[in-house]
């Protein structure tokens, strides 16, 4: 049969659907990437999508459904019969089902759960009960479980029987008769071992696991640290109840990175695509921080009012205020961004790492501040002449002190936030800039009074 590139599929697939060409549609779904096909169908009419779902093999339709946009999933479920929904969920992984259900209103969830088997309902309800952003909320219950009393031949048979139902078969998870977690066995080791060898002798990675209440960022850190593609999830009795795979972690990384970028820019995090986000949610995500920052900026205005008469004496003092505020604010943002990233990658903490961080940031500040100090004196003298040397000294000294202080504050606040169980990203650019602006101006005018005697 003819091979189509992606651009040709975008044109031809809707035609095949419109003409009800079942054989060609089924062939395309068997031969082409399911993610690309889902992207094409996100732009088709709902009636055509329902038709396709009813002619596809059930093993394909479940995976296809998981890659559609959430609003399209909801409309599709409302159009499908209870029997179709049951078949759909029979061929989806548990974590994909839960991800979908979490976005739906309660009345729709009830309808969907009514179509599920009792086993599915129990499994879904259990997963939905875990606190958001924890390992329990993103784990899958579809994995290969082996018993420590089995031999290699028996274990391979289990893998064959359950391969189509599991998220991954590269790693199998071993438990004892009470379902206590013992460790993992790699499929490679099962294949190369003799049939009579006991599974328990092949167990590895016995200490690498997370619990259901472990924060999802900690899950990401462990997967990265140990360079593994999946990690077991245990309950509070150390019994195996699920796994988290690399594809789940990629979703978490995108969510966490987006959330941190929003918070560092003074925006409350809102899930979903920008293009599909409604105006109300966008306003609510921004206006609160704008109000907070506007009110906090009044401290800066108060300082300017207090020293208003000093500004009138030396015009160059007023001209240099934007330079001081922007430079120190940028320095604080640089150090906070570095530390927030290091908290995620190196697991920095206030108790063990604060002194190391402050020592390093102080060294960086002294060198960067020294360079800025000299450059700014040369800049002002070059523009205004030697008679402005004292003013240039005030401005440059303020820059040096403010930059040093900004780096130390920017490095400390995220660590303090983490120790208080807050998101370190909330202590990023907007808050740090506001603090540094007020502090820098205070330093500036005190130095001006002392050195210029105004």
Q: What is the pLDDT of residues 67-113, one digit of tens each?
A: 787 778 777 777 777 677 777 777 777 777 777 776 666 666 666 67
Beta pairing class for 181-186 and 171-175: antiparallel
Q: Please, which pLDDT band fits residue 192 given cuts at 50, 70 and 90?
A: very high
Q: Please, which pLDDT band fits residue 38 given cuts at 50, 70 and 90?
A: confident
- Alpha carbon of 352 to those of 85, 125, 349, 356, 415: distances in Å? 52, 40, 6, 8, 10
pLDDT given for residue 305 in this prediction: 56
C-alpha 267/C-alpha 288 separation (Å) is 8
pLDDT given for residue 221 in this prediction: 84
86 vs 311, which has greater pLDDT?
A: 86
> What's the mean pLDDT when you consider all of the chain?
79
Look at residue 279 and tell me whether its pLDDT is greater than 90: no
pLDDT given for residue 2 in this prediction: 65
Q: What is the pLDDT of residues 41-55, one digit of tens each?
A: 777 777 778 888 788
Look at residue 228 and tell me whether its pLDDT is greater than 80: yes
- Residue whose token pair is 């309660």: 106
Look at residue 184 and tell me whether its pLDDT is greater than 90: yes
- Alpha carbon of 16 to those of 8, 34, 48: distances in Å? 12, 17, 10
Look at residue 216 and tell me whether its pLDDT is greater than 80: yes
* pTM exceeding 0.75: no
**pLDDT over 90 for what percent of the chain?**
18
pLDDT given for residue 56 in this prediction: 82
Q: Could you state, in order of their start, the residue ranges of all structural domains in the chain?
A: 6-129, 145-252, 297-452
Burial of residue 22 (CB within 10 Å: 0-12, 13-18, 19+) is: middle
**What CATH number was assigned to the domain covering residues 145-252?**
3.10.580.10
Q: What is the pLDDT of residues 193-212, one digit of tens each?
A: 999 999 999 998 888 999 99
Look at residue 156 and tell me whether its pLDDT is greater than 90: yes
49 vs 182, which has greater pLDDT?
A: 182
Answer for the pair 426, 417: CB distance below 8 angstroms, yes or no: yes
Q: What is the pLDDT of residues 100-139, one digit of tens each?
A: 776 666 666 666 677 667 777 777 777 777 887 788 888 8
pLDDT given for residue 198 in this prediction: 94
Q: Please, which pLDDT band fits residue 227 given cuts at 50, 70 and 90?
A: confident
> For the ranges 97-111, 158-172, 281-295, 373-387, which has the lowest average pLDDT?
281-295
Selected from 1.10.150.20, 1.10.3720.10, 1.25.60.10, 3.40.50.2300, the CATH number assigned to the domain covering 6-129 reads 1.25.60.10
The CATH homologous superfamily for domain 297-452 is SLC41 divalent cation transporters, integral membrane domain (1.10.357.20)
């Amino acid at each position: 049969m003819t091979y189509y590139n992606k651009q040709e599929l975008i044109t031809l697939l809707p035609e095949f659907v419109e003409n009800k060409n079942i054989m060609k549609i089924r062939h395309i779904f068997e031969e082409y990437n399911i993610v690309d096909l889902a992207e094409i169908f996100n732009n088709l009419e709902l009636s055509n999508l329902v038709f396709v779902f009813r002619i596809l093999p059930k093993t394909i339709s479940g995976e296809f459904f998981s890659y559609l946009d959430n609003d399209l999933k909801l409309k599709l479920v409302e159009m499908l019969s209870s029997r179709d929904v049951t078949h759909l969920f029979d061929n989806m992984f548990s974590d994909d089902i839960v991800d979908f259900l979490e976005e739906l209103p309660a009345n729709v969830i009830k309808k969907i759960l009514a179509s599920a088997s009792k086993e599915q309902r129990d499994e879904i309800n259990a997963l939905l009960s875990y606190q958001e952003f924890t390992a329990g909320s993103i784990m899958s219950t579809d994995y290969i479980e082996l018993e420590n009393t089995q031999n290699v031949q028996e274990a391979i048979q289990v893998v064959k029987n359950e391969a189509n139902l599991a998220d991954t078969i590269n790693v199998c998870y071993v438990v004892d008769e009470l379902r206590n977690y013992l460790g993992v066995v790699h499929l490679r080791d099962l294949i190369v071992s003799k049939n009579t060898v006991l599974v328990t002798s092949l167990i590895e990675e016995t200490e690498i696991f997370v619990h259901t209440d472990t924060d999802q960022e900690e899950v990401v850190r462990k997967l990265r640290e140990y360079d593994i593609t999946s990690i077991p999830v245990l309950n509070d009795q150390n019994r195996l109840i699920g796994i988290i795979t690399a594809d789940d972690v990629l979703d978490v990384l995108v969510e966490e990175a987006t959330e941190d970028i929003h918070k560092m820019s003074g925006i409350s995090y809102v899930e979903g695509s920008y293009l599909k986000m409604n105006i109300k949610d966008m306003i609510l995500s921004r206006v609160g921080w704008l109000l907070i920052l506007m009110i906090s900026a009044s401290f800066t205005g108060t300082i300017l009012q207090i020293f208003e008469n000093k500004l009138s004496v030396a015009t160059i003092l007023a001209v240099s205020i934007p330079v001081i505020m922007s430079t120190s604010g940028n320095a604080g943002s640089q150090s906070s961004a570095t530390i927030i990233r290091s908290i995620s990658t190196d697991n920095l903490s206030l108790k063990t790492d604060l002194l190391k961080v402050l020592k390093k940031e102080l060294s960086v500040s002294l060198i960067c501040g020294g360079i800025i100090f000299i450059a700014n004196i040369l800049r002002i003298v070059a523009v205004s002449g030697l008679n402005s040397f004292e003013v240039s000294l005030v401005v440059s000294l303020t820059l040096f002190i403010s930059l040093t202080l900004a780096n130390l504050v920017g490095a400390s606040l995220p660590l303090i936030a983490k120790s208080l169980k807050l998101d370190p990203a909330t202590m990023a650019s907007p808050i740090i800039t506001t603090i540094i602006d007020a502090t820098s101006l205070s330093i500036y005018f005190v130095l001006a009074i002392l050195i210029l005697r105004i």
